[in-house]
């Protein structure tokens, strides 16, 4: 079999790349070791974060660093055995997160974020799945006046610099928008421009269905078998060997399976995360995704129930699950909102592929013809999948990209 392009990785980023290439008349094979959408794209907070122009940085506040060092929080956890391996990444991450550097990164990152909701809606309309994207925004709520004041100041700065809209709410206004919260709150920030995804896996699969309706093909295969040939690229799949003129690597946290073999050594690390679904007790309703800011966990209304998600776990990618953050969060979340029994048989775990400068790697491979990279989206893979897919497809086909991709090029490392 021969294709114009093989896309490696069938998460939201790879699926979006495949759709946009197929729309532009290329014959595309989408390859993954599993069925589409079952890794990181399956389990997330379900947000299209239009407000997220500042990618998640490493804290520089001494109090926060001390709190994380104790390793007993919900929003961060680490495996002591993994620290020697990830220490160089963490140091670079900390350096890039310094206020001046973080602000400069936000300026480069903002064009991606600005297109996030628009590009998702464009694909969802073609796929017939717009009902899965809800214009509810999301809410960050506060238990203390100090946290509220600091976060509102930061939100006002984001609005001034990037035009993102929010409502600052007092405790009564929070209770009006989310009447079933059980904890007295000082207030909240309702980011109104983002959208909430009711079922992230179903949305990814709707884009997969669009891809196949456009003539694209799926196959299971091992990215490790990729090799360069005189005619392009060759990969082994369940459908036999497949030759392609070009390859796009969209393997998220497994990108190094291909990149290291080809001589690229990116400072890519993994933040692991967990979720669990719960039934709501009685007639309780959560109207929009909500972050309990000071406690560090997130609740989101989903098709399967109320999804409780945790922060970041720093560990070896393939280490066994350690869902201690969920164990810490569950009693606090149940006191915050009337969560009932667990729905899932066990906690779900996913992995976010992260770069130290918090921006994805998007663009042409520096030393190989017709090899393209599209990974490293960290916390914003679901948010940025469609706009990334469009940019990559435009570059592969020689079109002028809708935004300048230079800040995300691989050569920066």
Query: How confident is the chain (413 residues) per 10-residue block, as mean pLDDT?
Result: 97 98 98 94 95 94 82 94 95 96 98 98 98 98 97 97 98 98 97 98 98 98 96 96 98 97 96 97 98 97 97 96 97 98 97 97 97 98 98 98 98 96
Number of structural domains in the chain: 1
Alpha helices in 97-255 (DSSP H): 99-114, 116-127, 145-162, 171-177, 200-213
Kind plus residue range of the DSSP H or E element containing 394: helix 381-396
Q: Return the closest-CA partner of residue 273 out of 307, 222, 223.
A: 307
State the CATH number of the domain containing residue 204.
3.50.50.60
User: Token pair for residue 138?
Assistant: 């999301």
Query: What is the Cα–Cα distance from 338 to 66, expressed in whole angstroms?
Result: 32
Question: Within a domain: residue 259?
Answer: yes
Burial class for 180, CB neighbours closer than 10 Å (0-12, 13-18, 19+): middle
Query: What is the Cα–Cα distance from 381 to 299, expressed in whole angstroms?
Result: 19
* C-beta of residue 40 within 8 angstroms of C-beta of residue 253: yes
Specify the DSSP class assigned to residue 1: -
Q: Return the closest-CA partner of residue 375 out of 85, 91, 16.
A: 16
Question: Within a domain: residue 187?
Answer: no
Query: What is the Cα–Cα distance from 243 to 180, expressed in whole angstroms?
Result: 56
Question: Within a domain: residue 255?
Answer: yes
Q: Return the closest-CA partner of residue 302 out of 16, 47, 59, 8.
A: 47
User: Token pair for residue 311?
Assistant: 């922060």
Q: Which residues on neighbouring strands pair with residue 29, listed in sequence order?
A: 6, 217
Query: What is the Cα–Cα distance from 13 to 391, expressed in whole angstroms?
Result: 11
Q: Return the closest-CA partner of residue 189 out of 253, 139, 263, 128.
A: 139
Question: Within a domain: residue 50?
Answer: yes
Going by their DSSP bridges, the two strands 240-249 and 232-237 should be labelled as antiparallel
Burial class for 44, CB neighbours closer than 10 Å (0-12, 13-18, 19+): buried
Kind plus residue range of the DSSP H or E element containing 84: helix 83-96
Question: Within a domain: residue 316?
Answer: no
* C-beta of residue 271 within 8 angstroms of C-beta of residue 395: no
Q: What is the largest CA-CA distance in the chain?
A: 67
Going by their DSSP bridges, the two strands 133-134 and 232-237 should be labelled as unpaired
Query: What is the Cα–Cα distance from 317 to 296, expressed in whole angstroms?
Result: 22
Q: Return the closest-CA partner of residue 246 out of 408, 27, 84, 13.
A: 27
* C-beta of residue 290 within 8 angstroms of C-beta of residue 326: no
- The packing angle between helices 200-213 and 12-23, to 10°, is 20
- For residue 367, give its domain range: 1-57+97-135+195-268+355-413
Question: Within a domain: residue 239?
Answer: yes
Query: What is the Cα–Cα distance from 302 to 297, expressed in whole angstroms?
Result: 16
User: Token pair for residue 244?
Assistant: 């392609």
Question: Within a domain: residue 88?
Answer: no
- Number of CB atoms found within 10 A of residue 6's CB: 27
């Amino acid at each position: 079999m021969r294709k114009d392009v093989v896309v490696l990785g069938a998460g939201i980023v790879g699926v979006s790349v495949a759709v946009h290439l197929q729309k532009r008349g290329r014959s595309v094979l989408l390859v993954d070791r599993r069925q589409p959408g079952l890794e990181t794209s399956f389990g997330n907070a379900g947000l299209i974060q239009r407000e997220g122009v500042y990618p998640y940085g490493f804290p520089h506040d001494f109090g926060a660093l001390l709190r994380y060092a104790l390793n007993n929080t919900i929003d961060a956890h680490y495996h002591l055995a993994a620290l020697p391996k990830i220490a160089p990444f963490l140091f670079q991450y900390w350096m890039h997160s310094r206020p001046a550097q973080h602000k400069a990164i936000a300026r480069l990152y903002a064009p991606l974020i600005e297109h996030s909701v628009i590009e998702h809606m464009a694909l969802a309309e073609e796929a017939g799945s717009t009902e899965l994207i809800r214009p509810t925004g999301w809410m960050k709520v506060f238990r203390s006046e100090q946290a509220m004041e600091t976060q509102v100041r930061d939100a006002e700065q984001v609005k001034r610099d990037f035009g993102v809209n929010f409502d600052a709410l007092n405790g009564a206004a929070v209770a009006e928008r989310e009447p079933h919260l059980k904890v007295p709150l000082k207030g909240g920030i309702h980011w109104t421009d983002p959208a909430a995804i009711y079922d992230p896996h179903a949305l990814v699969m709707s884009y997969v269905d669009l891809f196949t309706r456009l003539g694209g093909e799926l196959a299971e295969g091992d990215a490790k078998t990729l090799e360069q040939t005189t005619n392009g690229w060759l990969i082994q799949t369940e459908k036999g060997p497949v030759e392609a003129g070009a390859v796009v690597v969209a393997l998220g946290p497994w990108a190094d399976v291909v990149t290291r073999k080809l001589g690229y050594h990116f400072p890519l690390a993994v933040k692991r995360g967990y979720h669990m679904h719960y039934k709501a007790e009685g007639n309780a309703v959560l109207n929009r995704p909500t972050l309990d800011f000071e406690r560090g966990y997130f609740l989101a209304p989903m098709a399967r129930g109320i999804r409780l998600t945790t922060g970041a776990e720093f560990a070896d990618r393939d280490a066994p699950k350690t869902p201690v953050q969920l164990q810490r969060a569950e009693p606090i979340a149940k006191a915050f909102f009337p969560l009932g029994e667990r729905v899932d048989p066990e906690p779900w775990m996913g992995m976010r592929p992260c770069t130290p400068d918090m921006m994805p790697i998007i663009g042409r491979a520096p030393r190989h013809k017709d090899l393209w990279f599209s990974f490293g989206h960290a916390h914003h893979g679901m948010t940025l999948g469609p706009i990334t897919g469009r940019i990559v497809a435009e570059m592969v086909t020689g079109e002028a990209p809708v935004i300048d991709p230079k800040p995300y090029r691989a050569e920066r490392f």
